[in-house]
Every structure is written in C-alpha cells, then in structure tokens.
C-alpha cells in the first residue's frame, strides 16, 4: 500500500481526532524513523515519550514474541507469571507496595482517582471525595480524567463533567493550602507537566505538598505517565525530587512501546478489594512480558547515568540556541523531557524541522517539546541541534 493510499483510507474511515502531519512511517530503529518514501528522520517525539528504548528494541520484541508463542491472553481470574514478575520489579524498585495493571495512562489515573476515594470511604470519611489538581495539568481523556485535567480546552463540549475536582496554580503552595477543604481526599500532580508546556515542579513545592498531605491525612498522587520510567534521569520522577507519593501512575514507556498502564500504591493506600476495580486486558501476559524487559533494561548498570549525561548535554546545547535566537524565551525541563518556549507560534517550526529530517512537536501553541528515546546518542543530539539551529535562523 502506498503512503497516499494509507492517508486516503485514514481520512475516509478513521475518526478525525488528530491533526495528522503528512508522514507515513514504515520502519523504525533506535532514534530513527523512515517514511514510505525512504526518507530518514531523527525521532525526538518518541511516540510521545513511549519509545524510551528506541523503536522496536530487540529485548522487548523478543520477550513479547516468546510470551505470545506460549500464552497471548488469559483472564485475571487466574495467576499470570509475567504480571507477577512486573509487579515485583516495580514494587522492589519504588516506594510502593502493590500494583494494579491496566492498558493506558488515562485508565491508570482513573484507577488512582477511584483508589483515593475508596481509601477515604474505608476510613469512614464518607464526605471526602474531592481531588485537587493543578492548572495546566493533563491526566487523560476519559470523562473523569479530562475533569481532573486543569485545562478547559480539553473539557469543552463534554459537559456536564463529573464533580469532585478542584484546580490550583502549579508550584503555588499557598493556593494549594487554601484549596484544601472538608471534602478533600487527595492531591494529584505531575512532577513535570508535559502537555501543559513542560513545567517542572519546584522541589520545595513538592516537599510542601507532601507535608500538607501528611498534616491533613490526604493521599498524594503523582501522575508519572509521561515523566516516569527513566524520563527525568531516575527510574521514577519522584526520585529526582526526593518526595514519595502514596499512589503513582505509570503508562507510556512502561513496556517500551506496547500498551500498558499501572497504578502503584503504598500499603496504606492500596484500598481495593475483590470486585472494586478491574480491567479485562489489564496485566495481559504479552504486555507484562514487554514491561519486564523494558524495566530490566532501565535498571541495567549505568543506563540511567548515561541518560543524565546525554540529557544534560542536550539541555546545554538547547540553552546555547536560546542565547543565539531571539525567538526563544526559555529552555526548561528535566532529563529528556525538555521544552523550548518561543515568543512565536511553534507549528511552522515543527513543520520545517520535519522537512529537514527532525521530528519534534509543540504544546500550548508555543513550546517545542523534545522527548527523544533515552538511548539517543550524542552525535544524534548534535544533528538535531544543527537542524533546529538552521530552522530557527530560517
């Protein structure tokens, strides 16, 4: 099938929920993609922070193949070996004690919301159901998670929205303190806001949030869907801040490119009992086998050290571009979740970069977002910087 045929079929039969760029990828390896015409691209979108180990990493692909040959799916009515192994890996390398598996980030955040409410009810707090989230946050596309998302543009047209959410400015501890009320059961934050413009939390802010939760018997939920799994240079983003959540949500890079989501919780917050929550495909044997391979890769000696070194180099080079080009207002972010805020619209920059063989994207209209595979090499970073420099000068 030609690229044009793929585009035509998509336009005819697929709901138009994306403004797609005119690109039909047919092959990926490492940090590179090739389209139907054989043109090569450096991929600094990475499936939106999914392909952390690059495209089709051999260890993950082999694990999926071996698992699919023996058992592709079985119900959670039974015990699943790869699910148990992945839960063990995540718990033993995090601050949490239990895991629940689902299929996506939105599902993971739905699970966290339910878990927080269930925790409050189990403690006899029948009137506690409200969760405070941050403005410019993004937590998913289901009805509950778009309501948790502190951006009205994602909520428009889907009213009435579920009740039980309150929003405060990010990194503003006083506003958060003032928002806590008799119905509050939890605070839900992204350590680094991705879709909201690549906004990292201040360490002092998260430390203050933790103290506030402790003082008011609130659960602290960290949404690490985008910023977790090595993206900030630590296995989990909370480790980059030294602040432990009670509930942690994961997805995107968890299985190296295969769909999966997870809710991790400390023992006190693991309030679900049989029948309280479920997912038919959650903890699927193939997804969990991929997850085991991906997490083990991240845990290899010196892997995250190299991520920190490469990410530091990339941020330094981006800051050099910021000094050189008047269109750039600021470079910010953590690890390999970096943003370059412009004083102009970013869509034309994204298109020009694509034309020159570099895939990036833009959030909030004017923030170029860079989320390359964690295995990206220095010479590939240099190539990306050269392309971006050329485009900004253009």
Neighbouring C-alpha atoms within 13 Å toward the C-beta of 39: 16
φ, ψ of residue 231 to 5 degrees: the values are -60, -35
Q: Is 347 a catalytic residue?
A: no
Given 252, 266, 315, 317, the catalytic residue: 252
Nearest-CA neighbor of 236 among 267, 276, 294, 191?
Answer: 191
Residue 256's H or E segment, with its range, is none
Q: Are the CB atoms for 307 and 233 separated by under 8 Å?
A: yes
Q: Are the CB atoms for 336 and 306 separated by under 8 Å?
A: no
Q: In what order do the strands lie in the sheet with 184-189?
A: 98-102, 261-265, 247-250, 219-223, 184-189, 130-134, 165-168
Q: Based on C-alpha coordinates, what's the Rg of the chain?
A: 21
Structure tokens at 155: 């909520």
Ranges assigned E (strand) in the chain: 25-29, 32-35, 40-43, 98-102, 130-134, 165-168, 184-189, 192-193, 199-200, 219-223, 247-250, 261-265, 328-334, 337-342, 358-359, 361-363, 367-370
φ, ψ of residue 270 to 5 degrees: the values are -80, 70
Q: Is 138 a catalytic residue?
A: yes
What string of DSSP letters covers 70-107? H-S---TTS--HHHHHHHHHHHHTSS-SEEEEESSHHH
Euclidean distance between CA atoms 200 and 203, whole angstroms: 9
Given 138, 236, 258, 336, the catalytic residue: 138
As a whole number of angstroms, the longest Cα–Cα distance in the chain is: 62
Euclidean distance between CA atoms 194 and 198, whole angstroms: 5
Given 223, 266, 315, 317, the catalytic residue: 223
CA distances to 61, 137, 150, 160, 173 from 156, in Å: 39, 15, 12, 10, 28
Q: Is 39 a catalytic residue?
A: no
For the annotated catalytic residues, the residue numbers are 138, 223, 252
């Amino acid at each position: 099938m030609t690229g044009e045929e793929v585009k035509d079929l998509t336009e005819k039969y697929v709901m138009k929920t994306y403004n797609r760029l005119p690109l039909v990828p047919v092959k990926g390896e490492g940090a590179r993609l090739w389209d139907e015409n054989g043109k090569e691209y450096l991929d600094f979108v990475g499936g939106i922070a999914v392909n952390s180990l690059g495209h089709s990493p051999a260890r993950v692909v082999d694990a999926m193949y071996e698992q699919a040959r023996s058992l592709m799916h079985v119900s959670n009515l039974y015990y699943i070996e790869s699910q148990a192994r992945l839960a063990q890996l995540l718990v033993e390398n995090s601050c949490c004690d239990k895991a629940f598996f689902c299929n996506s980030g939105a599902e993971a955040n739905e699970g966290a919301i339910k878990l927080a409410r269930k925790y409050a009810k189990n403690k006899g707090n029948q009137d506690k159901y409200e969760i405070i989230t941050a403005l410019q946050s993004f937590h998913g596309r289901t009805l509950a998670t778009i309501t948790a998302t502190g951006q009205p543009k994602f909520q428009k047209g889907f009213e009435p929205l579920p009740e039980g959410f309150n929003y405060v400015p990010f990194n503003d501890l006083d506003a958060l303190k003032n928002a806590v009320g008799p119905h509050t059961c939890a605070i839900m934050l992204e350590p680094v806001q991705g879709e909201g413009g690549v906004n990292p939390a201040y360490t002092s802010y998260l430390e203050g949030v933790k103290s506030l939760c402790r003082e008011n018997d609130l659960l602290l939920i960290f949404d690490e869907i985008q910023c977790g799994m090595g993206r900030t240079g630590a296995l989990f983003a909370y480790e980059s801040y030294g602040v432990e959540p009670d509930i942690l949500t994961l997805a995107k890079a968890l299985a190296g490119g295969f769909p999966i989501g997870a809710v991790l919780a400390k023992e006190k917050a693991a309030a679900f009992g049989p029948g309280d929550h479920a997912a038919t495909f959650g903890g699927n044997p193939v997804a969990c086998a991929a997850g085991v391979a991906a997490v083990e890769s991240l845990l290899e000696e010196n892997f995250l050290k190299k991520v920190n070194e490469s990410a530091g180099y990339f941020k330094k080079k981006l800051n050099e571009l910021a000094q050189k080009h008047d269109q750039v207002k600021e470079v910010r972010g953590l690890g390999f979740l970096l943003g370059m805020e412009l004083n102009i619209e970013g869509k034309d920059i994204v298109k020009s970069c694509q034309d020159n063989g570099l895939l990036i994207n833009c959030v909030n209209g004017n923030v170029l977002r860079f989320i390359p595979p964690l295995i990206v090499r220095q010479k590939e970073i240099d190539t990306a910087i050269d392309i971006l420099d050329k485009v900004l000068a253009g």
